[in-house]
Structure 1
Amino acid sequence: MALSFMVTGMALYAQSGVYRTLDDFENNRLTYATDDGSDENKIRFNEFIAKPYLIVKHNGEKIHVFKDEIYAYKNKGNVVRTWNFTQYNFLEKGPVWIYYKDMYTSQPKGTQRVRKYYFSTYGKGEIVPLTVYNLKKAFPDNDLFHIYLDAQFRNDRELAHYDNYANKFKVNNLLEKTSTGLSKR
């Protein structure tokens, strides 16, 4: 019994591991959990090689975990959701779940890293680009939200702004307020 408490405690504070399901993610249950950031314990997604699995190096042993059989993974404290064999860095859970992905674009003087933002309407939902059009499409019956989206955000890039006062992304704060009829709780 003491061993189970020790393993559970380690999973709660672990810096790396795999969330097999959404339920595992919501309850912070990691498989292959570790708080050791050494080369003996790391996760490689294999995005550039386009393999259907990620490699988890756990206690010196390489384990292949298929991308379509997991919900997300945690690597050095960062949570990454896998969807359609692509990785998205998790930022916030709210009325919309917000993610980002760094992409490299060609510029006249080389390449530049550009951060693109995405969202889903629930934990296992489709991940789509964070745009005004996609938000309106995701919440077609919330007319007040549509009006405030147009009034608050001049372009899609502004949707990724964080509200330090509310401690959440502005789009989530706006969606919460328009869904409750602007009532204060």
Structure 2
Amino acid sequence: MEKTRCGWVNSDPLYADYHDREWGVPVHDDHKWFEMLILEGAQAGLSWYTVLKKREHYREAFDRFDPLKVAAYDDAKIEELLSNEGIIRNRLKVQSAVTNARALLKVQEEFGSFDAYIWRFVGGSPILNSWGSLSEVPASTAESDALSKDLRKRGFKFVGSTICYALMQATGMVNDHMTQCYLYKGGCGHQAEHAHERG
């Protein structure tokens, strides 16, 4: 029997696997946080599906999303990235990855980890929603507004409130699985238990 998933999932097994294994599962790893910051920023003005298909290229191009390495990128490295057809070749987006790596390292110095910093915006545990249709899901919330404002203050780029809300959904800070989705409620709890195992 076919599983009922959230309405935004298309028929591509890659997309279904992302929905089933990652989306909405709480993240507690700074490498993963940096990966999602880069990818969500790259998504601006595009679809998540477009970015997801390029994810492996991004992983290779950006040193497996190591913020220490990306923070050290110079102008020559940025030009090299802009000639890489496997990623989205937008100068501002590529530069923002380097800027955000440096900003993330400063957050780590202040809070011990980026994870400790960002979970404060939802009080340390996921916000559980109960949406019956995609039209009910907000593009931004008071929490994403606050996160966006604080990230911008710290020098992060491509972190508008809508991007921040998508980040919060993807990393389990907000659980927005539709009520008819097989991962709603019980399934999500099961996934959360295994979030650390997958990193």
TM-score range, shorter chain: under 0.3
**Bigger radius of gyration among the two:** 1
Structure with the bigger percentage of helix: 2
Q: Which has the higher contact order (CA 8 A, sep 6+)?
A: 2
The structure with the largest strand share of the pair is 1
| TM-score for both structures, normalised by structure 2 | 0.26
Task: Name the TM-score, length of structure 1 as normaliser.
Answer: 0.27
